[in-house]
Amino acid sequence: MFIFGKVALVITFLIGIMGLRMLTKGKPLNMANMGAMVKKYWPQFLLIFVVYSFKNLVDSLNWPIRNTLGLDFTPEVFAIEGKLVWYIQFHLNNIYLTNVLTYLYVIGFMFSAYISILIYAYMDNRKVASILSLNYLLVYLIATPFYLFTPVDVTSNFIPDVHPLAYNLNSQVHHFFIAVDPLDNCIPSLHIGLPLAILMVIYLHDPSNKPMKRLYWFFLCLNAFAILYLGIHWAVDIIAGILVALLSLWISHRIHNRFWQPIYAFQNKWSLKRLRRKTALKKIEDEADAMIREEAAEDNGKLRGLGIVRPRRSKKKPPAAKRYPGLLAIGLALLFLNVFVILFDTLDNDIPAITEYSQQMEPDVYDDVLVWTDMREGNLDIFTSKIGTDKITQLSTNSEDQWNPHIWDGKVVWTDLRGGNPDIYLYDTDALELTPLTLDPMAQTQPDMYGNYVVWTDFRHASPLPDNSDIYIMDITTMKETRITTDPHPDNNPSIYGDTVVWSRFIDGYWDLFSYRIDTGEKQRLTFGGADHLAPNVYTRKVVYEYARSAEDIDIHMMDIDKNRTRGICNHPAIQMEPQIYGKKIIWTDYRNTGGFGAEGTNIYMYDLSRNLEVKVSQNEAIQRDPAIYKDSVVWTDYRNHDEDQHLYGWYGDIYWNPLSVHYESYSWFLLIFSIILITGYVWYHKRNPPPGYGLVDIIKMELEQ
């Protein structure tokens, strides 16, 4: 069930029209009244725009400041109230309730935040409109230091089993939240602070307005419940929002007159100058018009005396574009800009890199060099190619299977079966040398590489437990091998970057994450049960992994090892698997557009930590999987060019590449709609309200043309 989309627009429009008609006490809604309102209350509206721009600036500074100073107060808030939000969500979770409350959280809050100022301005209540707009500014100013220097994550990013119901309701809502919400501006909650400040202003300055008071009581109570239920705010945030509202109200009443009097004085002075200028121009135009008409009448009389009748010229009114070209130009510019943006947003930016008619899979990338596993010779081999060229090189030629390649700076490691059991081999593409790193009779698999270090999963100490395995590391410059794990628990899926190695271990009934520092030899347990932590991938000291509550409930999480801080990256109800991280970008295989695990149509998604933005990287409806990333290059296995039966058997996949060069957010549709409304309203207004007559310049121009 979806409330959003076209239905949401219709509902919002109808509610807005009915609400305005009711709350404006019958005052006619027409363009004349709207124009008069804008002329008088443009300072209040400008202040709202300044606050909105200020909020965007604060949001852009949020994560840089947090990362630089290492700030995070989420654990302190959790220590105060515990899992209160989990109890609310667990006992009341319902899809219909989620839809209604998400609609209220997004549309209802924006409606309640702006409608009060608009209504009082339209009703020409200058005092209340001014106090409301000033409170709007003060609420954000008071909240800003808390947002920048006391960041608190949303509850669904911290409390286990609390789901982001609103954020993941559907793709449109998800992208909206990612674009506008830093996800750590919890304290104070302005979904409480702003409506409460508005409500108190109404009680103090317009106590007889019962419809407005009822409306804001309704929004306030439902908001308080919605922000907890949807997995966004903490209960502490509500208290902080109330305190912010009280403080802003107290400050606004102390500075209101001093703040607005200079603005009123400037506005009155500017209006008086316009009136004087308009009166003077009107007088000149009237005099010129009378003079020209007298001369024209005299000329016509002379012509009639000669028997010549001069045809009358129709006085066509100058088109709207000639009278106010600036406004129409802005609307047209927005229109063409957003058509361009939406066009690129919907283009498929996936580039086929390797499309041989065989099975290509398990790609990895370093700079512009690609490696992958290939079946074109009838068995699994390792191939390499430079992206953007047709030259393909086969690195392994043995008749046995080689698979799972990883590349770093010209060196490629893979798992090799030529010795009768899996071993780890290294190929130097510069020296053209192949080196076996392990030749133990037991299996060694799952290699990964960074710099001069190679890590892998090793079964040489599996006896007497056949499922036991360890993590090994080798310095390929000295060929010195080190056993990292020595306990009897199964360890697998090692990942290495810098001096950090991370892997999964089955212990206490769950797969948990462990880490190892190469420089110090320090080992650390990172997670402690509650769910399985699988397929880790590390970049510097950040680890992304699969957080698996069950086989059908797998999300992508990230941990900062140094800060011991975990956050959800993608908590969509569908399955997400195979996470990879490089820099500020995290990619994974996503099942949200399919029927579930194993179904057709998985896609590659990316989350940009620097912008808190999720992007769908691969656009096709076929299966995409096995993603890998290096800098801005993403590669994956893709089955779009082959029929359904080949999909199901996993044969004949291709390697695709995406440079992540152009990805636009879907909220550009909003700007497109706004530009169309602007142009349509402009044309309609000037058709309904044409100018009373020609100006002086138009009359002289007409005479010259004759």
Q: What are phi and psi of 497, to 5 degrees?
A: -155, 135
- The predicted pLDDT at position 411 comes to 96
**Cis amide bond preceding 43, omega within 30:** no
pTM (2 d.p.): 0.54
Mean pLDDT is highest, among 445-459, 595-609, 619-633, for 445-459
Handedness of CA 276, 278, 279, 283 (dihedral sign): positive
**Per-residue model confidence (pLDDT) at position 593:** 78
pLDDT at res. 376: 85
485-494 pLDDT, tens per residue? 998 889 999 9
| Residue length of the chain | 706
Rounded to the nearest 10°, the torsion over CA 683, 688, 691, 692 is 170
pLDDT value, residue 622: 82
Domains of the chain: 6-267 (no CATH), 354-658 (2.120.10.30)
The whole-angstrom distance between residue 314's C-alpha and the CA centroid of its chain comes to 56
CA gap 672, 661 in Å, rounded:
23
Whether 238 and 226 have beta carbons less than 8 Å apart is answered as: no
Q: Is pLDDT at 240 greater than 50 in this prediction?
A: yes
- Across 345-352, average pLDDT: 57
11-25, 452-466, 488-502, 632-646: segment of lowest average pLDDT? 11-25
C-alpha to C-alpha distance for 84 and 78, rounded to whole angstroms: 9
Q: What is the reported pLDDT for 459?
A: 92
Which band of pLDDT confidence, cut at 50, 70 and 90, is reported for residue 179?
low
Q: Is the pLDDT of residue 278 over 50?
A: yes
DSSP at 2: -
Q: Which of 460-474, 492-506, 594-608, 650-664 has the lowest mean pLDDT?
A: 650-664
443-446 LR contacts (CB < 8 Å, sep 24+): 444/415, 444/472, 445/404, 445/415, 446/404, 446/415, 446/492, 446/493, 446/494
Q: Nearest Cα to 383, choosing from 399, 400, 366, 364? A: 364
- What percentage of residues in the chain have a pLDDT greater than 70? 72
Is-contact 472 484, C-beta < 8 A? yes
pLDDT at position 701: 44
151-165, 343-357, 618-632, 687-701: which is most confident: 618-632
Average of per-residue pLDDT across 48-65: 83
Average pLDDT of every residue of the chain: 79
Is residue 637 within 8 Å of 361, Cβ to Cβ?
yes
